[in-house]
Structure 1
Amino acid sequence: MTLSTTLGSNPAFAVDTHAHVYNLTRYPIHESSGFSILANETGTAEQYAAVLDAHRISHAVLINPLGGYGIDNRNMLDVIASSNGRFKGIAVVPHDISEAQLDTMVQTGVVGIRFNLSFPASPAIKGAGGARLLSLAEERGLIVQVHYHDEAHLLEANDILKACQAPIVIDHCGRPVLDRGINQAGFQALLELGRSHNAIIKLSALFRCSRQGWPYLDTDRYVEKLIDAFSVERCIWGSDWPFLRAGTRIDYGPELSGLSRWLSDVEDRRKVLWKNPFRIFGFQGE
């Protein structure tokens, strides 16, 4: 099968803004991998395209996986090149990447760079190296995508993020620790960032913070606060396929279904699934 959409002449224009793909035959696990992964946690681009087709999702943003590939973006770049515009990418790049290398990535469909604040293997957002990458992103209009699983790491980087002039995308609802409540410092800092900056929140991977499991009802008040702070115009959705280190069974359809509960208005859901990512990531379509 091809990686371009097979939904026919009337696809449901929508974007999954968070997925990882692998080709371990051509590109084995890289030495810069940030953490170990299991064989059943990986998925190929062809398998992912079939999932998108089944759920009538026309486009997607691929995130180079720190787990498995680290700063080796070759597989993601190959997939984007063969997708006929269906996929764009967020790269993980070293501090010393050359401007020419980064520009080549941009020309081939990379629209941002990612920092994993809670993983030592990720290039750091702090220090001279991080400042250089942020400057390169700002100069090129690239997205700065941020993931963390410990609020302390967001708080440490908060001043850097507030000063950043590039669009900032925060992954996975900021992964609040539900036992700490709405007023936990990291979540409040995230809400402040949403109210005062050019920041976008990704309504994704709630299985990573829910204590109850699907349908993640215990996360609803956090999602409500995020939508209010960031506004519907700066919310996007992502699946986090193929659900690395999930710890329990996760399926694509149930992950997508939460949007209908959080956003009762059809037009609001259309903004989150298409209009917003179309604008933010620069897709082409209807």
Structure 2
Amino acid sequence: MTKTAWVFPGQGSQAVGMGVDLLTHPTAAAKYQTAQSILGWSVPDICQNHEDKLSRTLYTQPCLYVVECILADLMQERGHQPHLVAGHSLGEYVALYAAGVFDFATGLALVKRRAEFMEDAAGGQMAALIGFNYEQLLAQLAQTPNVVLANDNSDAQVVISGTPEGVETLIASIKVKRAVKLNVSGPFHSPLMAPAAAEFQKALESVPFTDAKVPVLSNVEPTPATAAEVLKERLSQQMTGSVRWREISAQLPQEGIEKVVEIGPGKVLTGLIKRTSGQLVLENVSGAADLPG
């Protein structure tokens, strides 16, 4: 049997119309109904009819979680199971769900609170950098206050986060092919998120986790773990910690993984994994039409 990892994308991968093709599946219909009772609004309605809301953290994160969980459920209903899971930022919550660490409703309630705290964060800036000298970037980050490596995606693509001044200073001090400021409400995955993270921690502490059925590679610590207390502790650090996706990508073949299936809209993660671990077989399940038999 081919040793397979499932990976789940995070904020930025959302697309208008995502999940609408799943509405006819009984599993999906039940999940959408549960989600509406928790959120107070309809995920399919937002995904279909409200592009402005879909791009807002408050809605983006729950929508992605719900759609990706449904796709993971449908994969499992068809007899497919991962040997290992990982998710990028918000996607880590779907990975934990797919690994059986918490149930759908528990995870969605956490994601709802996370989205609310992150939506309220302000006073920061994030920027994607493409095409640079990686060692030079790390050296400059160490010398520049109030800016950190938020998403370490690959040697050629990262996201930095911090104060507007810190981000501007860093961009001006290195040679970069392209720098794109992100339309986000706050400095995610940086120490500036500490107040939001402290509030979220109160919600996280009250939620019971169970041991994962398959190993999880966490954003802040890309080594496999299944113990409930370890996974919860790692998740508690995620809001202020860096998403170490480059290391996760490199770790996959070290764990004997031969194939990676990205479950969710877009192909961002398989694109990043291809750069770091190009020998892996890569597949994408973005919607109903991509589901294997």
- Which has a greater percent of helix? 2
Provide TM-score, normalisation by structure 1: 0.31
Greater RCO between the two (CA within 8 Å, min separation 6)?
A: 2
Provide TM-score, normalisation by structure 2: 0.30
